[in-house]
Chains A and B, each alone.
Chain A
Amino acid sequence: MSAEWPAIHFTVNGEKRTVRVPPMKRLLDVIREDLRLTGTKEGCGEGECGSCSVRMNGELLNSCLVPVLQAEEATIQTVEGLAVNGVPGALQQAFLKYGGAQCGICTPGMLMAATQLLERNPRPSMAEIREGLAGNLCRCTGFVRIFESVVAAAASRAHEQVEKAAHAR
């Protein structure tokens, strides 16, 4: 808003954006306040709970610990970037179907951490799912339904791929 701050450029969910904010402003606050993408939540504000998880240049991180200047020229994905043409992605649908979301505060971070995990490891074991989501705290579900949602999403993706391969033949 203030013209005195330098312009910082990045791409968020495929769209090029420019903000003029104090360089030490937390990426989390820029996402919520300046870009008005309020899907990303703040929990602890100190990198312990994972509620503010987003992906930057293909890596998962806590946006509360990133000064926005360090996002210059970065490619960022927030929870709003998971839907395809407004339709929830396979992972989001699995969370809906298997009760992976209750109050919703941890959910965006869980979805981003799970997205990161499935991209690196399309068929994770339960131990790998637990490790992949270890930085994301939930106080409603007891975690089991979240883990089951991720298992289901991985299975449905694998199923889709088999179908695609069958069609290709």
Chain B
Amino acid sequence: MRGNPEAHELIAPGKLEAVLELLATAPGEWTPIAGGTELMVAHAAGRLGAGRLVSLWGIAELRFIESMPERFVIGAGTTFTDLREHAGLSEDFPLLAKAASWIGAIANQTRATIGGNLVNGSPAADSSPALLVYDAEVELISVRGRRRIPYSEFHTSYKRTVLAADELMFSVHLPRRFARHRQYLRKVGTRRAMAISKVALAATLLLDKGTVTEIRLGAASLAPYPARLYKAEAALLDQAVTEETIQRARGALLAEAKPIDDIRSTAEYRKQVGANLLEEFLLELRTTERT
């Protein structure tokens, strides 16, 4: 069944303040739409539930990349093309630039926004694993004001977030303190290009004389929402990266991962591949450590 455009209202107030006023006046009534790479797919298939939509596309206040000495701030309306083409960002946060490069194709990257990717709440979101291991914070905005929370606390369950009905995501904050970290990101999908992830894993890790002194693991599709793997992290912290440590970390990941079965893959496959990705990262670490 094709979607009927006449069944949906769409307005474009053009200014952030006007959108926030609208959301505040009738919380839950309006669905924000940015680049449309998610909602328009649902619309075409006739399964877009939202009756009234408010466009965020073209709102300049939401589309910016600001670099400060201690952090980067990325506006929620920044596209993945913007992220890929920002030289400073890819230097400090290579995993995010890498993730931006494999979100669909160029024609999707010019429209898909980082805020949309996160608010949509898919467990397979491409930008999420990198943001989790970079300790990102998200800034939310409404007429009531702004609040900033760790991104790791943004998702609460499958497709659910802490975003209130009158709130928009305003920006993503990235602290610039990962230059010395070993970094890893790999996505496994049906094919290399254009496919939505079956599972993805990111890591940032600091080694001091062979001992892990800092570790963050962020996963897509190893839980009903993008999430850190705290137990696998705990199995690695303060340890030397030995074969025994790797096996313990694998075991911890397998125990804590709670993926879902869906059309793209099964929970069991996702867990096994997630553990394999972690092992790949740790083995690479040992190889480079020896040389």
The interface of chain A, by Cβ under 8 A from chain B, is 21-26, 29, 45-48, 50, 53, 59-62, 64-67, 69-70, 72, 113, 116, 131-132, 134-136
Contacts and interface: CB of A to CB of B under 8 A. Distances in A.
A113, A132, A135: most-surrounded residue (chain B CB, <10 A) = A135
Given A23-B10, A24-B43, A116-B106, A67 B55 contact: yes
Contacts of B194: 48, 134-135
A23 B6 CA distance: 8
B6 to A, nearest CB: 5
B44 A135 contact: no
Interface stretch (B33-41, B123-131, B208-216, B221-229): B33-41
Nearest to B3: A24
Contacts of B188: none
Given A23-B10, A134-B194, A70 B58 contact: yes
Contact of A26 (B5, B12, B104): B5
Interface stretch (B107-115, B142-150, B163-171, B232-240): B107-115
Given A24-B9, A26-B40, A50-B105, 19 more contacts: A23-B11, A26-B43, A46-B41, A47-B37, A53-B107, A59-B81, A60-B106, A61-B111, A65-B40, A65-B111, A66-B40, A67-B10, A67-B33, A69-B10, A69-B12, A69-B55, A70-B55, A70-B58, A131-B106
Interface of B: 3, 5-6, 8-12, 33, 35-37, 40-41, 43-45, 53, 55, 57-58, 81, 104-108, 110-111, 193-194
A24 B4 CA distance: 9
The 7 closest A-B pairs by CB, nearest first: A135-B105, A22-B5, A23-B10, A65-B40, A59-B110, A25-B5, A24-B5
A59 B82 CA distance: 11
Contacts of B107: 47, 50, 53, 60-62, 113, 135
Contact of B108 (A22, A70, A135): A135
10 contacts: A24-B8, A24-B10, A24-B43, A26-B44, A46-B44, A65-B111, A66-B40, A69-B11, A132-B106, A135-B106
A70 B44 contact: no
Nearest to A117: B106
B3, B10, B40, B110: most-surrounded residue (chain A CB, <10 A) = B40
Contacts of B12: 23, 69-70, 72
Given A70-B58, A134-B193, A65 B106 contact: no
Contacts, number: 95
Contacts of A113: 106-107
A77 to B, nearest CB: 13
A22 B105 contact: no
A65 B36 contact: yes
B18 to A, nearest CB: 15
A109 to B, nearest CB: 8
A70 B106 contact: no
A22 B33 CA distance: 16
A24 B53 contact: yes
A73 to B, nearest CB: 9
B44 A61 contact: no
B125 to A, nearest CB: 16
A135 B104 contact: yes
A46 B108 contact: no
B37 to A, nearest CB: 6
B57 A46 contact: no
A62 B8 CA distance: 20
A134 B36 contact: no
B117 to A, nearest CB: 14
Contacts of A65: 35-37, 40-41, 108, 111
Contact of A60 (B35, B37, B110): B110
B56 to A, nearest CB: 10
B33 to A, nearest CB: 7
A139 to B, nearest CB: 15
Contact of B104 (A47, A59, A116, A131): A47
Contacts of A131: 106
A47 B40 contact: yes
